[in-house]
Amino acid sequence: MGGEERVRIGSDADIVLARQRGREMAARMGFSSTDLVLITTAISELARNIILYAGHGEIVLRNGSDNGRAIFSVMARDQGPGIPNIEQAMRCGYSTSGNLGLGLPGVRRLMDEMTIESRVGEGTTVVAKKWKP
Amino acid sequence: MQVPILKQGPFLIASVQSALSDADLLQLRDTLVEQVGRYRSRGVIVDVTALDVMDSFSSRTLRDITQMIRLRGAETVVVGIQPEVAFAMVQLGLTMEGVPTALDLEEGLAYLNQEIRTKGNETERHGR
Amino acid sequence: MNEIRTHAGMNDPQRASSPAEAPTESTSLLLRELVAHLRHYRTQLRQEWARRITGARLLTAMTDEEIFAEATSVYNNYVEALETGTLEALQAYARNLSERIIPRGVETHEVLGIVLLLRDVLARSLFSKYREYFAKLDRILDAYEPAANRIANTVAVGFVQERERVIMEQQEAIRELSTPVLQVRERLLILPIIGVIDPQRARQLTEQLLKSIRANRARVVVIDITGVAAMDSHVANHLVQTVEASRLLGATVIVSGLSPEIAQTLVNIGVDLSKMTTVGDLQGGIEEAEHLLGYRGAQSRDIAEAEG
């Protein structure tokens, strides 16, 4: 058990690639079809944020386990401008006009667990995980 | 990757494939707007049955398509959103407000026909 | 003792206990010595242990013969875990044992109780053997105690995990039974919700409903919440999400049976009730649905006449 895949994110075509790889890995891990959609949607949003705010970065997909339970995790890493106010970013989802905000609360709802590390001027790392019940 | 667009009478039917990039979606938007103008279509069906993920960009682009096509006097309806995709969309907070949706192609056609009838009745009444 | 935390109905993966440290050479020797002792006196020690179990009124759901049979295998596994220092075999055994005794109604405190009793029975036996040799007794206990505690921990955790798994399975089964989606007319589904809804059940309801909409090509869904006493904002949000997701599948949702309290909850969390079609009771909901579908009901006839 345990495997890792990195996808470099530099263009919108890479978003599709990251989604596909994520779906394949999660499917191999035995996630339900609903969970597969939740996971690939989360990957898509995180990869898109990288392009929108940093221009380029990396998605790391991990097939892991903790005490017998399978965990799928996606790490979105970039060296972009960083998030000045993480708390605020976590409070604001998409406005009703559908502006492309960070969408982080949405990603949090799609997955089971999410952590954000960000420093202004240095970059951002978001890790989102889903457990296989 | 090009999205195939069929002309069916007064309507255009675009069948979206699964691995759709942002650029493909924008291309679809422009093509549909252009073709609605060229063929004077009354309605557009965007069939997303094969789409495995709907994220913020695709939902935003579908809204743009709907609005732009409305400016050309035609109605759009999105059909074929999968149950799991719909579930993920509302989790993410995407409601696609302002975009008519229907279950499948058949329902989409019924919707567009109904819309044309309603519009027809309106112009009749106003015309008197 | 490691904590098991829960959050919003989901279990965090439990922090792994510290891995069994490879025993030092002298510890190994000591362990081997005490294991030999425990094996040599296994019959007496098992009996002493079984006596203590009955005395403490544990495992009352099992007969004496059953206790004896299980005691033998627990004892052997315990001693083997002491000897090898590895816990995998013990973990597997603990899960296996739990699978067998949980249906018998054995509870967590009983399992922990009997393992701690065994630990004590063996400790006392070591005390009496090495009573005269203080220094050695000290070293023996230094070797025994951490190992014995790891074993108690492993067995208890294995039991609890198995128990949680069983409970989840049972809950799932109950949920499946209590969430019927009914098709009453062509294109019309009714989803009556009864009782308490927790977030997990709410999610399951939504998934089931969406799949039914697709399978039945439903155009209208009546979600009846007459039987729901109260709703917290979390579940209310979920209801709104269900309405929105259904719309994405081309179905209109009518919420019927909205009590004034629940209407208030929805307003409090900022739901625009004008966007949701709500009706006082299920009958009203069905009539509204039929009206939307174009069935000839009293309502639609009246409207047709008025427009005529």
CATH class, C182-307 region: alpha beta
* pLDDT in the model for residue A94: 52
- C14 contacts chain A (CB < 8 A): yes
Residue B7 in 3-state DSSP? strand
CATH class, C6-173 region: mainly alpha
Contacts of A107 in chain B (CB under 8 A): 92
C54-58 long-range contacts (CB < 8 A, ≥24 apart) are C56/C113, C56/C117, C58/C110, C58/C113, C58/C114, C58/C117
CA gap C77, C91 in Å, rounded: 10
- C249 contacts chain B (CB < 8 A): yes
* pLDDT in the model for residue A93: 59
**Enclosing H/E stretch for B88:** helix B83-92
* pLDDT in the model for residue C25: 59
B106: exposed, middle or buried (C-beta count within 10 Å: 0-12, 13-18, 19+)?
exposed
Distance from CA of C189 to the nearest CA of B (A): 14
Contacts of C161 in chain A (CB under 8 A): 68
The closest CB to that of C249, out of B81, B91, B111, belongs to: B81
Interface probe for B, chosen from A9, A15, A16 (most Cβ of B below 10 Å), is A16
Query: For chain C, what percent of residues have pLDDT higher than 70?
Result: 86
Q: Which of C106, C111, C87 is nearest to C21 (CA)?
A: C87
Tally C-beta pairs within 8 A across A and C. 15
Q: How far is CA C102 from the centre of its chain?
A: 13
Helices (H) and strands (E) in chain A, counts: 4, 5
**How many residues are there in chain A?**
133
Q: Is the ipTM of this complex over 0.95?
A: no
- C109 contacts chain B (CB < 8 A): no
Indicate yes or no: CB of A105 within 8 angstroms of CB of B20. Answer: no
The angle subtended at Cα C115 by Cα C109 and Cα C118, nearest 5°, is: 135
Contacts of B89 in chain C (CB under 8 A): 245, 248
Contacts of B63 in chain A (CB under 8 A): 98
DSSP codes of every residue in B30-41: HHHHHHHHHHT-
pLDDT tens digit sequence for A18-47: 999 999 999 999 999 999 999 999 999 999
CA distance from start to end of chain B: 48
- Please state the domain extents for chain B: 5-127
pLDDT tens digit sequence for B24-83: 999 999 999 999 999 999 999 999 999 999 999 999 999 999 999 999 999 999 999 999
Distance from CA of A98 to the nearest CA of B (A): 7
Residue C32 and residue C23 in contact, taking contact as beta carbons nearer than 8 Å: no
The neighbour count for residue B64, using CB atoms within 10 Å, is 16
The closest CB to that of C244, out of B90, B104, B107, belongs to: B90
Contacts of A105 in chain B (CB under 8 A): 93
Q: In terms of CA atoms, which chain B residue is nearest residue A19?
A: B53
- Low-confidence residues of chain C, pLDDT below 50? 1-23, 297-308
Q: In terms of CA atoms, which chain B residue is nearest residue C219?
A: B103
pLDDT tens digit sequence for B73-122: 999 999 999 999 999 999 998 979 899 999 999 999 999 999 988 887 77
CATH of domain B5-127: 3.30.750.24
CA C8 vs CA C5, C11, C199, C209, C234: distances in Å: 10, 8, 8, 23, 10
Distance from CA of C165 to the nearest CA of A (A): 9
Strands, sheet with B101-102, edge to edge from the N-terminal-most edge strand: B5-8, B11-15, B43-47, B75-79, B101-102
C102-106 long-range contacts (CB < 8 A, ≥24 apart) are C102/C159, C102/C162, C102/C163, C102/C166, C104/C61, C104/C62, C105/C61, C106/C59, C106/C61, C106/C62
Distance from CA of B73 to the nearest CA of A (A): 22
* pLDDT in the model for residue A98: 44
Backbone phi, psi, residue C305, to 5°: -65, -40
- Please state the domain extents for chain C: 6-173, 182-307
* pLDDT in the model for residue A29: 92
Q: In terms of CA atoms, which chain B residue is nearest residue C212?
A: B83
Query: Mean pLDDT for each consecutive 10-residue tract of chain A (133 residues)?
Result: 88 94 94 94 95 94 90 96 86 53 85 94 96 86
C44: exposed, middle or buried (C-beta count within 10 Å: 0-12, 13-18, 19+)?
exposed
- C245 contacts chain B (CB < 8 A): yes
Indicate yes or no: CB of C247 within 8 angstroms of CB of B101. Answer: yes
What is the CATH T-level fold of the domain A3-131, as seen in this structure? Answer: Heat Shock Protein 90 (3.30.565)
Contacts of C10 in chain A (CB under 8 A): 112, 131
- C217 contacts chain B (CB < 8 A): yes
CA gap C68, C143 in Å, rounded: 28
Indicate yes or no: CB of A67 within 8 angstroms of CB of C14. Answer: yes
